[in-house]
Amino acid sequence: MPEIDDFDKAILNRIQSDFPITPRPYRTIGNDVGLSEDEVLDRISRLKADGIIRRIGGNFTPDKLGFVSTLCAAKVPEDKIEQFADVVNRYPGVTHNYRRENKFNIWFTFIAPSTDEIQASLDQIAAETGVTDILNLPATRVFKIRAEFKVSVQRFRVRGSEVSHLLPLASGFLLLAGNREPVIRGLSRAGLSASLQKAAAEGFPTLRFASVFCHLTSVL
């Protein structure tokens, strides 16, 4: 596992459930943890490259947007696991993808505007990978558990409608060298600001910005 220090842990605690939506979020984080803006951006870039942070972006409750969600389980031969995972991960509706000790050894969650679209995607995955034994287990009742992992820090504590305009926010911020402002693929700075303002004006209750950890990478 990659080594992380107390500053890394403080940053992870700060951004895990409440990433600051400000013109210079990395400066805001730096002010909270005692680092410069550049140091925060460098550390977040490294944590993402090391696989500790998976994504920084908007988290939504699918049914509040009129979307549907399902849990899928696939029986994948050992020699096809890497290829199958790569194909599945290309779909933007896939939010989690795990390997488990079971005859159905690859499990992933999928969200889309309709069950038909999900099934069409699963058919495409089967055709491309040759893996046809895929269970589609749509959600009938959702029990939402907030996955939040507080990281132990020894040295200091950290201070604590229409949906089309919201969907790009879920794709995640891009970390670009030399960039100090939040950037999302497909949105200009003005577009990002407008989307956030529109979400706030609508009192959108299911949107929060956060850093999503790679659950299988332990940093505790």
Q: What is the CATH number of the domain that holds 39?
A: 1.10.10.2890
Higher pLDDT, 204 or 82: 82
Confidence (pLDDT) at 217: 42
Residue 220 lies in a domain: no
How many structural domains does the chain have? Answer: 2
Q: How confident is the model at residue 74 (pLDDT cuts 50, 70, 90)?
A: very high
Q: Domain end: 86, 121, 138, which one? A: 138
* pTM summary value: 0.55
Same domain, 114 and 69: yes
pLDDT digits (tens, 9 = 90+) for 105-162: 999 999 889 999 999 999 999 999 999 999 999 977 766 655 555 666 554 433 334 4
Same domain, 156 and 172: yes
Residue 21 lies in a domain: yes
CATH of the domain at 116: 3.30.70.3460
Same domain, 22 and 76: no
DSSP string, 136-200: EEE-SS--------PPP-SS--------TTTGGGGG-B---TT--S--BTTB-HHHHHHHHHHHH
Lowest-pLDDT choice from 2-6, 15-19, 48-52, 208-212: 208-212
Residue 218 lies in a domain: no
Same domain, 66 and 134: yes
> Distance (Å, rounded) from C-alpha 39 to C-alpha 215?
25
pLDDT digits (tens, 9 = 90+) for 156-210: 433 334 444 455 555 555 544 455 555 555 555 566 666 666 665 655 544 455 5
Same domain, 134 and 66: yes
Q: Domain end: 81, 103, 138, which one? A: 138
Domain that holds residue 39: 6-61+147-213
Same domain, 24 and 76: no
Same domain, 117 and 10: no
Same domain, 156 and 54: yes
